[in-house]
Amino acid sequence: MRRPEWLVHPNGALGLAGVTIIVPDPRPLLPAYEQLFGPSAVHTTDDVLTVRAGRHRLIFAAPDDFAAMHPEIETVPDEMPSIALATIRVRDIEAAADHLAQWQVEFESAGRHGVIVPARAANGLALEFVAVQG
More confident residue, 107 or 1: 107
Query: What is the tens place of the pLDDT at every residue in 22-57?
Result: 999 999 999 999 999 999 999 998 889 999 999 999
Give the domain extent around 20. Answer: 4-131
Q: Are 85 and 125 in contact (CB under 8 A)?
A: yes
47-93 pLDDT per residue, tens = 899 999 999 999 999 999 998 988 888 766 778 899 999 999 998 99
Q: What is the CATH number of the domain that holds 32?
A: 3.10.180.10
The pLDDT of residue 1 is 65
CB 99 within 8 A of CB 11: yes
Measured between alpha carbons, how far is 73 from 68 in angstroms, rounded to an integer? 10
Q: How many domains does the chain have?
A: 1
